[in-house]
Structure 1
Amino acid sequence: MKRSIILISISIVFLSCTNLKHLTPFDGYNGKPKIVETLGYTINKDSIKELFIYEAFYFDKKGRMVKSIEYENEERKPLRVYINKYDNKGNIVELNYSNHDGTDSHTVYYSYNRYGQLLKEESRKIVHKYTYDRKNRTAELKSNFKNGKFHDRITFKFNKNWQRTELVTYDETGDITLIYKEEYDENGNVIKVSSYDDKEQLIRFTEILYDKQNKTYESKKYKIDNNDTTLVNISKWHYSYDKYDNVIEEKVVPDEGIVLITQNKITY
Structure 2
Amino acid sequence: MITRLKPAPVDKDWDAKAYQQFSRLRQQPVDELLRRVDLDNPLLVCDLGCGTGIATKVLADRWPLAKITGVDSSKDMLQVARCLPIKARWQHAELQHWKPRKLADLIVAAAVLHFIDDHQTLLPGLLRHLNPGGCLAVHMPDWRDALWYGLMLDTLDDAGSCGRPIGTAQLRQRMAARPLLSLEDYYRLLAPLTQSLEIWETELVQVVPGSSPIWDWVKVSALRPVMQGLTSEEQARFIYHYLMRVHAHYPQENNGHTLFPFKRIFIVAKV
State the TM-score bracket (shorter-chain normalisation): under 0.3
Work out which structure has the larger RCO, using CA pairs closer than 8 Å and 6 or more positions apart in sequence. 2
- Greater share of strand: 1
TM-score (norm 1): 0.26
TM-score (norm 2): 0.26
- Greater share of helix: 2
